[in-house]
Amino acid sequence: KSDKKKLGIALVGLGSYSTYQLAPALQDTQHCYLAGIVTGTSSKEKVWANRYGIPKENIYNYSNFDEIASNDTIDVVYVVLPNSMHAEFSIRAAQAGKHVICEKPMAINVAECDEIITACNRAGVKLGMGYRLHSEQYTQAIKEYVANKTFGAINYISADAAYRSMSNPGQWRLNKKLSGGGALMNMGVYAIQSVIYGTGENPISVSAQEFSTRPEYFKETDETITAQFEFQSGAVGSIMTSHNVRANRLFASCQRGWFELDPASTYIPLAGRTSRGELNFTQESQQKLQMDDFAKHILLETPNLAPGEMGRRDMVIVEAIYESISKGGQKIP
Ligand code: NDP
């Protein structure tokens, strides 16, 4: 517990998500605020300092970042870097005594997730994932249907999380060293999340397939992946993730009806319906809700809606999917 009313957050990596979603959301948060920045691009320092009134002493780069340990105005470090840098900066933040929010995917393999969790436990700091949907009303409604068995047992769950990436072949998401993988590491994590909160269970087995139509563009990273899951309850699940298809949906067929979100994981607005009718919730910035929920977890000891263990669990499934793909499919003559 902290005596502060509002926690200071430092964003690490001032790319598009920090610039267009997180920093604007931090202007509306009640329990935290944008206190500092960490950037490798010196020209961004002045722009951000002017735009958000960030004092000079709260601006860091990747080399002097560890000095953040002695800065009492920064309580939380939010890692918004390319995936392969999540582990290093989450660990350095924990070692500096700061609470950590780590963007999805948590890291590029399970071993790195373990290292982040261990570092945070050792330092006695909180660890949350950037899984914004858990703070959002449509997703919370799905979780309630599942917990209350509103539509009975779930028999089938399907989730698609995909977008079409045509531009900029130089982007880090296509570079395996920086991304750790393609569509699965990026949007696939949302589809994995959907089938889990859409059933309330972790899958127990998977069979997965990878498809490539533009290998000249997706040279190192997966373009499209489908995977089928088995759950202990007898439910079956199916996901599709892609950098070559547009789709964003969660659908569950249940014993006594169905529920659906489409879109299911975009920022706003989400939309949904069930066999009983349309869903209609107020739309608020998911990032605002998410960062306030994490701050409340620290300040008021409310539950951590997306703990590090959840990020690790998803990475276990990512690795199982890649492993299944490596075993290959059966050609149809
Ligand atoms: P961008 O490419 O827009 O920004 C990444 C930033 O990281 C850069 O601007 C740069 O910031 C810094 N960086 C440091 N080293 C490198 C490097 N070698 N190559 C590229 N950038 C580098 O990415 P996004 O903002 O879209 O994504 C960042 C993270 O956030 C990813 O892990 C992604 O999965 C996650 N994300 C999550 C979303 C969500 O809804 N939860 C949505 C979008 C992204 P600087 O110049 O300040 O050093």
Global ipTM: 0.99
> Is residue 327 included in any domain, yes or no?
no
Which candidate in 78, 98, 104, 296 is catalytic? 104
Token code pair at residue 324: 């299944």
Span 122-144, pLDDT tens digits: 999 999 999 999 999 999 999 99
Answer yes or no: 104 catalytic: yes
> Is residue 77 included in any domain, yes or no?
yes
CA angle 299, 304, 310 (to 5 degrees): 150
| Candidate from 18, 77, 80, 192 with most ligand 1 atoms within 8 A of CB, to mutate | 80
In this prediction, what percent of the chain has a pLDDT beyond 90?
Answer: 95
d(CA 37, CA 50): 12
d(CA 207, CA 328): 10
- Given a contact cutoff of 8 angstroms between Cβ atoms, the answer to whether 71 and 7 are in contact is no
Q: Mean pLDDT throughout 91-109?
A: 98
- Ligand 1 pocket by Cβ (under 6 Å): 13-18, 39-41, 44, 80-83, 103-104, 130, 132, 172, 178, 186
pLDDT tier at 2, thresholds 50, 70, 90 = low
Whether the pLDDT of residue 1 is over 60: the answer is no
Domain containing residue 170? 137-283
Identify the three-state secondary structure at position 79: strand
CATH number at residue 152: 3.30.360.10
**Among 92, 116, 131, residue at a domain's last position:** 131
> Pick from 144, 135, 167: which is nearest to 244 by CA?
167
CA angle 17, 168, 214 (to 5 degrees): 115
Answer yes or no: 6 catalytic: no
d(CA 168, CA 165): 8
Q: What are phi and psi of 283, to 5 degrees?
A: -105, 125
CATH number at residue 43: 3.40.50.720
How high is the pLDDT of residue 4? Answer: 87
